[in-house]
Amino acid sequence: MATVLVAVLDAVGISTLEYLLDHHTGGVVFPHLSQLGLGTLLDQRHRARFGSWDERSHAVRLLQASASADSVIGHREMVGVVDERTYELFPNGFSPAFISALEGRIGRKTIFNKQAGGSDAIRFNMEEHARTGHPIVYASKCDPLIQIAMDEAVIPVSEQHRIGDVALTLATDMGVRINRVIVRAFVRKPGGEFQRTANRHDAVLPLDSRTLVDILRGRGVWTVSVGKISDLVNTTYDEKIKLTDPLALDPTLGLRFVHPKRKDTNPFVTQGVINALHGVSAADRPNGTLIFANFVDTDSLTGHDRDIEGTLSCVAEFDRVLPLFVRMLYRGDLLLITADHGMEHKNDYGYHSKEPVPLLAMRVGFGKDLGGLVTGGGEGLTEVGNLVAQVFYCANEYRGSITHIKS
- Provide the CATH number for the domain around residue 124: 3.30.70.1250
Considering 186, 204, 222, which residue would you say is the last residue of a domain?
A: 204
CA-based radius of gyration for the chain: 21
pLDDT of residue 50: 85
pLDDT exceeds cutoff 90 at 87: no
Average pLDDT of the chain, as a whole number = 94
Which residues touch 86 (CB under 8 Å, ≥6 apart)?
67, 68, 407
Q: Is residue 169 part of a domain?
A: yes
Considering 204, 238, 254, which residue would you say is the last residue of a domain?
A: 204
Examine the domain organization and report whether 147 and 32 are in the same domain.
no
Examine the domain organization and report whether 271 and 378 are in the same domain.
yes
Average pLDDT over residues 127-151: 95
Q: Is residue 26 part of a domain?
A: yes
pLDDT of residue 250: 96
Q: How far apart are CA 369 and CA 391, in angstroms?
A: 13
Residue type, 142: C
Q: At what angle do helices 157-174 and 96-106 cross, to 10 degrees?
A: 140
Q: Are 407 and 84 in contact (CB under 8 A)?
A: yes
- Candidates 328, 330, 327, 323; CA nearest to 365 is 330
pLDDT exceeds cutoff 90 at 65: yes
- Count H helices and E strands in the chain, helices first: 14, 17
Cα–Cα–Cα angle for 90, 93, 99, rounded to 5 degrees: 125
Could you list the beta-strand ranges (E) of 189-226. 194-196, 201-204, 222-226
Q: At what angle do helices 14-22 and 308-326 cross, to 10 degrees?
A: 120
pLDDT of residue 206: 86
Examine the domain organization and report whether 147 and 220 are in the same domain.
no
Examine the domain organization and report whether 189 and 238 are in the same domain.
no
Task: Kindly state the helix (H) or strand (E) to which residue 61 belongs, with its residue range.
Answer: strand 58-62
pLDDT of residue 88: 80
pLDDT exceeds cutoff 90 at 385: yes
Q: Is residue 183 part of a domain?
A: yes
The pTM of this model reads 0.93
Lowest-pLDDT range of 100-109, 200-209, 313-322: 200-209
Q: How far apart are CA 313 and CA 33, in angstroms?
A: 14
Binned at pLDDT 50, 70 and 90, residue 85 comes out as confident
pLDDT exceeds cutoff 90 at 40: yes
Which residues touch 226 (CB under 8 Å, ≥6 apart)?
241, 242, 269, 272, 273, 276, 291, 292, 293, 294
Question: What one-character DSSP code corresponds to residue 178?
Answer: -
- Candidates 236, 237, 325; CA nearest to 3 is 325
Q: How far apart are CA 109 and CA 267, in angstroms?
A: 37
Q: Is residue 91 part of a domain?
A: no
Considering 179, 204, 229, which residue would you say is the last residue of a domain?
A: 204
pLDDT of residue 228: 92
- Candidates 117, 170, 178; CA nearest to 348 is 117
pLDDT exceeds cutoff 90 at 47: no
Collapse the DSSP code of 55 into the 3-class scheme (helix H, G, I; strand E, B; otherwise coil) and give the result: coil
Examine the domain organization and report whether 280 and 194 are in the same domain.
no
Examine the domain organization and report whether 352 and 285 are in the same domain.
yes
Examine the domain organization and report whether 229 and 151 are in the same domain.
no
Binned at pLDDT 50, 70 and 90, residue 110 comes out as very high
pLDDT exceeds cutoff 90 at 129: yes
Binned at pLDDT 50, 70 and 90, residue 38 comes out as very high
* H-state helical runs in 48-177: 71-78, 96-106, 118-132, 157-174
pLDDT of residue 135: 98
For 145-159, give the DSSP string: EEEEEEETTTS-HHH
Q: How far apart are CA 368 and CA 362, in angstroms?
A: 7
Q: How far apart are CA 336 and CA 52, in angstroms?
A: 19
Examine the domain organization and report whether 265 and 373 are in the same domain.
yes
Average pLDDT over residues 299-326: 94
Examine the domain organization and report whether 200 and 215 are in the same domain.
no
pLDDT of residue 92: 94
Q: Is residue 87 part of a domain?
A: no
Q: For the chain, how many residues are written?
A: 407
Residue-range definition of the domain harbouring residue 193: 96-204
Q: Are 405 and 84 in contact (CB under 8 A)?
A: yes
pLDDT exceeds cutoff 80 at 407: no
Examine the domain organization and report whether 306 and 370 are in the same domain.
yes
pLDDT of residue 282: 84
Average pLDDT over residues 291-320: 94
Examine the domain organization and report whether 183 and 215 are in the same domain.
no
Q: Tell me, what CATH number does 245's domain have?
A: 3.40.720.10
Please write the tens of the pLDDT for every residue from 239-279: 999 998 999 999 999 999 999 888 899 999 999 999 999 99
Examine the domain organization and report whether 338 and 232 are in the same domain.
yes
Q: Is residue 86 part of a domain?
A: no
Binned at pLDDT 50, 70 and 90, residue 37 comes out as very high
> How many domains are contained in the chain?
2
- Bridge partners for 81 per DSSP: 403
Collapse the DSSP code of 71 into the 3-class scheme (helix H, G, I; strand E, B; otherwise coil) and give the result: helix
Q: Is residue 322 part of a domain?
A: yes
pLDDT of residue 288: 96
pLDDT exceeds cutoff 90 at 216: yes
Q: Is residue 90 part of a domain?
A: no
Please write the tens of the pLDDT for every residue from 331-384: 999 999 999 999 999 988 889 999 999 999 999 999 999 999 999 988 999 999
Residue type, 26: G
